[in-house]
Structure 1
Amino acid sequence: MSRFSGQVALVSGGASGAGAAAVRLLVAQGASVIVVDRQEELGRALAAEVGAHFVRADVSKPSEVRAAVADGTAAVGTPTLLFNHAGTIVVKPFLETTQEDYDFLMDVNVRSMFVMTQAVLPGMLAAGRGAIVCTSSISAVAATPAEVLYDVTKGAVHQFARAIAVEYRDQGIRCNAVCPGFIDTPHGRREVELLTKYGVDVSEAAIAAQQGRMCTPEEVATATLFLLSEEASFVNGAQLFVDNGFTAL
C-alpha cells in the first residue's frame, strides 16, 4: 500500500504495544519510520524487523527528545507525521500519591508531548503540512478510582491536542487525540493488575460489560493511522475514542 508513500513518521513509545502496531502499519503502508523509545532491545528488534530507524531516548528528558529527533531526521528525513504515543501510568489511592509520582507522570505523559511536538513542528511548518496524533485515554473523561493522577495527565493531553490544532490549523497542521479504552498490552494488563490490587473491579466480566472486551493494539493503531492520513483531512482538534462504547454508556 502507498497510503503514506514518501512520508516520514515519528512514533514515540513505538517499541511495543499500540506504538509498535502503528510502526508496523506505517511501514507496510509506505512510510519511513523513526521509532523513539527507552526500551532499546525491543526497539532495535522492531526496527530490524520492519526496516525502521530506532533512536533510544527517555521522553521525559527534553535533551534526549531533541537529540532523538535530530538523529532521526538526519537518518531518515523530516517527519511530517507524528504519533505522540509514549506514556505510562501510576495507580495509587489519591492520598498515597506522592509529589515524585506527580512529577514523573507529568513528565512522561504531558511534558514529553510538549517537547516532542516542539522538536518536530518546525519541520512540518517548513514542509507546509503535518499531522499529529497524541495518545489520550478514556481516562480523560471517565475517572477511575486510584487513577486521579493518570486521569489528570490524560485530560491535559486532550486539551494539548485541541490547542495545537487551533493554533496551527491555518498553517497546514492537524492535531488529534486517540483515546483507547482498556488495551490488551503490557501497559494495559499492568493497569488491570494494579487496579485489582486496590479493589477496583476490572475483572473480565466488568470489562466485558463496559467495552465488550479488551481492545487490541492493532485497533488503536488503525484508528491512529486514519487520523494521520489524508482520509482525515478535515478532522482536526478531535478526540477519537477507541473504546467500543465505554464512554457512551
Structure 2
Amino acid sequence: MAGRLAGKIAIVSGGATGCGGAASRLFAAEGAAVGIIDRNVAAGQALADALTTDGYRVVFARADVAVKAEVEAAVAEVAAALGPINVLFNHAGTIVIKPFLETEEEDWDFLFDVNVKSMYLMTRAVLPHMLAQGKGAIVCTSSISAVYATPNEVLYDATKGACHMFARAIAVEFRDKGIRCNAICPGFIDTPHGQREVELLTRYGVDVSDGAIKAAQGRFGQPEDIARAALYLASDDAEFVTGAQLFVDGGFSAV
C-alpha cells in the first residue's frame, strides 16, 4: 500500500536521525507533509533538504523539545509552512544508565525533561490544531522498559513508564473529540541510542551480548521496524486503535 498518510500534515519530534529519521522518511513517502523538529540542526536540515529534493513537502524546525517557548515556536513554524498539524510522532528521547545510587538529581531532571516533559509540551502545542479539525493521531515512543525493569536503568524505566501512561490518558481524555493516542514500545534497536545502551549496560555487567539479544528478541531491531509501526498507528488503518501499547520487540515481551 502507498499513500497511507496522503493529505496528512505530520510532525516528528526527534525526527532527524535514528528511528525518528526513518519515520520522517517513511511518512513523507506515504504522502504526508512532514515537519522535522530536532535540536540537531545539521542532520535535521540535511534530511529535510534531501527529502525536498526528492519531491516531498518537508521542513525542519530547530527546538529543544524540553523548552516550552522553543517547542511552540517550532510547531508554529511547521504549521505556517505546511498547514494545521493532524499527526504527531512524539519520538524525541534519550537515556541515562547508571547504578541507582550513582545517579544525581540533575540526571533525574534531565531525563524526565527530555523523555516526558517533551511529550507534554509537543502534545500541548499540537492538540489545538487537531481539535479544530476534529481529528488527529498521536504516537508516543515508550519502550519495553516501561514494563520490564533493567538494572542501572531506574531513571530511564521510570520515564518510559510515564510515557506509557501519558499516551493512555491522552487517549481517554480526547477519544470523543476524534483524537487517537497510542504508544510504541521498542525493544533493542540498532541505532546510536541502542548501541550506547548496550555499551553502558555491558560496562555495568548486564548481559546484552549479541547472543543474549538474539535469545530475547531474535535480532536487533532496525529503525524501519519502528517507523512502520508508527506509520500504522498514525494512519487511518488504526482508526479504532487508541490507548494501546504496541510492542515492537521481536517477542521480547512475549516470553
Q: TM bucket by the smaller chain?
A: over 0.9
Q: Distance in 2 between matches of 1:208 and 1:162?
A: 30
Segments ≥4 residues shifted beyond 2 Å? none
Please point out which of 90, 99, 107 is paired with 1:84.
90
Please point out which of 67, 70, 77 is paired with 1:61.
67
User: Is 1:110 aligned to 2:149, yes or no?
Assistant: no
5+ residue gaps, structure 1 = none
Q: Which residue of 2 aligns with 1:21?
A: 22
Q: Distance in 2 between matches of 1:3 and 1:110?
A: 28
Q: Distance in 1 between matches of 2:218 and 2:8?
A: 36
RMSD of the alignment, in Å? 0.6
Q: CA deviation at 1:2?
A: 2.0
User: Is 1:171 aligned to 2:169, yes or no?
Assistant: no
Q: Which residue of 1 aligns with 2:55?
A: none
Q: Distance in 1 between matches of 2:4 and 2:249?
A: 25
**Seq. identity, %:** 66
1:21 alignment partner, SS class: helix
Count of residues in Structure 1 that have an aligned counterpart in Structure 2: 249
Q: Which residue of 2 aligns with 1:95?
A: 101
User: Is 1:185 aligned to 2:186, yes or no?
Assistant: no
Q: Distance in 2 between matches of 1:161 and 1:223?
A: 15
Amino acid at match of 1:32: A
1:241 alignment partner, SS class: strand
Q: CA deviation at 1:159?
A: 0.1
User: Is 1:122 aligned to 2:128, yes or no?
Assistant: yes
Amino acid at match of 2:33: S
Amino acid at match of 1:208: K
Q: Distance in 2 between matches of 1:225 and 1:5?
A: 12
Q: Which residue of 2 aligns with 1:147?
A: 153
Amino acid at match of 1:54: F
Q: Which residue of 2 aligns with 1:248?
A: 254
Q: CA deviation at 1:185?
A: 0.4
Q: Distance in 2 between matches of 1:185 and 1:78?
A: 31
For each residue in 1:40-92, what CA deviation from the matched residue of structure 2 results, as whole angstroms up to 9, or x when unmatched? Answer: 10001100111210001111111111110011111111110000000000000
Q: Distance in 2 between matches of 1:87 and 1:63?
A: 18
Please point out which of 232, 237, 240 is paired with 1:231.
237
Q: Which residue of 2 aligns with 1:32?
A: 33
For each residue in 1:201-247, what CA deviation from the matched residue of structure 2 results, as whole angstroms up to 9, or x when unmatched? Answer: 10001101110111000000001100011111110000000001101
Amino acid at match of 1:125: L
5+ residue gaps, structure 2 = 53-57
Q: Distance in 2 between matches of 1:7 and 1:223?
A: 17
1:214 alignment partner, SS class: coil
Q: Distance in 1 between matches of 2:72 and 2:205?
A: 40
1:183 alignment partner, SS class: coil
Q: Distance in 1 between matches of 2:226 and 2:240?
A: 20
Q: Which residue of 1 aligns with 2:47?
A: 46
